[in-house]
A and B are shown apart, each in its own frame.
Chain A
């Protein structure tokens, strides 16, 4: 089973829209797809899918009302596409621990599906990032607005930091990450790359371990709501800045042109690919899937599994 997760910092940039339509595209290719709403506290994926408000949600799993996660699966009415609704009870969502997230993921991975698609919430909560770094394809959605890009950077920086902390824990390193970050201003650290460079300077042996760990992470960028070629240039700028200045490899896997049929379909509670099966977006999503399939081999999830 392959895990694809979509995050991106800012709300309202089309994360649920993108993942729903990726799911529909995959299901049309005869792949069995399970899409899970991991937006804790803001779950609304059922609306994108045109499914009724579900009776059971991830809340029931986290509060142990249900014993096994597969009892939460609802059918969407779309062939090959099932889904699990998100935890919407605020107290449950607020008290979730990262360990619960990774445990849920471990159980989801055992289910008989080809793809597990995770719709992550906005923001950089550790629970969100926890799921993000475990994906084979960690995908960040951006729109050409400065606010969306700013939040995407924050999201990517937080991801980078969590990867370092995880590596530190797993490899039992000496705790330089927090030490250096406490003196971030003194050392002039502004980017994740500065942080790793500083660690490398202080302790080359650990530095190279951190570097190796980060190098295996390859995040994917999707630009949504592109209107001009300038928008695409901006997204390529984000890709270049992540790779060169953050030291975290990013690959742009596609852009989705601004299209009025999108918001119209959201209002109709129907995935746009089903509303417009002959539309241009079908080709767009197929291309994105092709690119995602093309470069997902070196994922941290796999490395963690083999380590």
Chain B
């Protein structure tokens, strides 16, 4: 059995193709708990490797569908596969230019400050509440991370975990983001 059963991202998250951002987040949250590799429901159906692959696919589905730009591209490739995309509506040129500029910046960015994380969150159309719900990090910490209110943040070892989780939801590299965030924090608190 193929763990993905050749499912597309929408099928993986069990959502309709026109799902809004909120339902995508809800579905992702649900899929992550339902297909947690340690769940007894998966045992005997999937091997450990398949379970891990499946959760990776679910993460991947979310990172694409929650990102308006990537989602549009993906939808295009989906309809190409199914109907050779005859009569597909051309994407809004100026809008996609703004998107691609920000996407470009996301790819190349090396410093991840709180402000930048907030920008990415807004660009992804996510509220603090939604991030809190998915990551299980409290809103207070998310706000503190974004506003760089260091005194409110927990010890570095916890903070690293929080920022990594947050970065994942934003579709950023968790290791790069948390390293950079903590480096900036340490520089700022030294002063």
Residues of A within 8 A of B (CB): 144-146, 149-150, 153, 188-191, 193-194, 233-238, 240-241, 244-245
User: Are A237 and B44 in contact, CB atoms less than 8 angstroms apart?
Assistant: no
Question: Which residue from chain B places its CB closest to the CB of A191 in the assembled complex?
Answer: B1
Alpha-carbon gap, A240 to B45, bound state (A): 12
Say which one of B31-39, B110-118, B124-132 lies at the interface with A. Answer: B31-39
**In the complex, A191 Cα to B41 Cα: how many Å?**
15
In the bound assembly, the distance between CA atoms of A150 and B40 in angstroms comes to 9
- How many residues does chain B have at the interface if contact means C-beta atoms less than 8 Å apart? 15
CA A147 – CA B45 in complex, angstroms? 13
> Which of A149, A188, A233, A238 is the one whose CB lies under 8 Å from B1?
A188
Tell me whether A234 and B45 are in contact in the complex, defined as CB-CB below 8 angstroms, given that A191-B1, A240-B34, A245-B5 are known contacts. no
Consensus secondary structure, chain A interface: helix
Measured between beta carbons, the chain B residues less than 8 angstroms from A191 are 1, 45
Number of A-B residue pairs, CB cutoff 8 Å, is 53
**Interchain CB contact under 8 A, A144 and B45:** no
Q: In the bound complex, do residue B41 and residue A238 qualify as a contact, i.e. CB atoms below 8 Å apart? A: yes
Q: Are B40 and A144 in contact (CB under 8 A)?
A: yes
Q: Is B36 a contact partner of A146 (Cβ separation < 8 A)?
A: no
Select A233's contact among B36, B43, B44, beta carbons within 8 Å. B36
B41: A residues at CB distance < 8 A: 149, 234-238, 240-241
Residue numbers in B under 8 Å from A146 (CB-CB): 40, 43-44
Which residues does chain A contribute within 8 Å of B44, judged by CB atoms? Answer: 146, 149-150, 153
Identify 25 residue pairs between A and B in the complex whose beta-carbon atoms are under 8 Å apart, listed by A's number: A146-B40, A146-B43, A146-B44, A149-B43, A149-B44, A150-B44, A153-B45, A191-B45, A193-B1, A234-B39, A235-B41, A236-B34, A236-B41, A237-B34, A237-B36, A237-B39, A237-B42, A238-B41, A240-B34, A241-B42, A241-B45, A244-B5, A244-B14, A245-B1, A245-B5
Chain A residues with CB under 8 Å of B42's CB are 237, 241
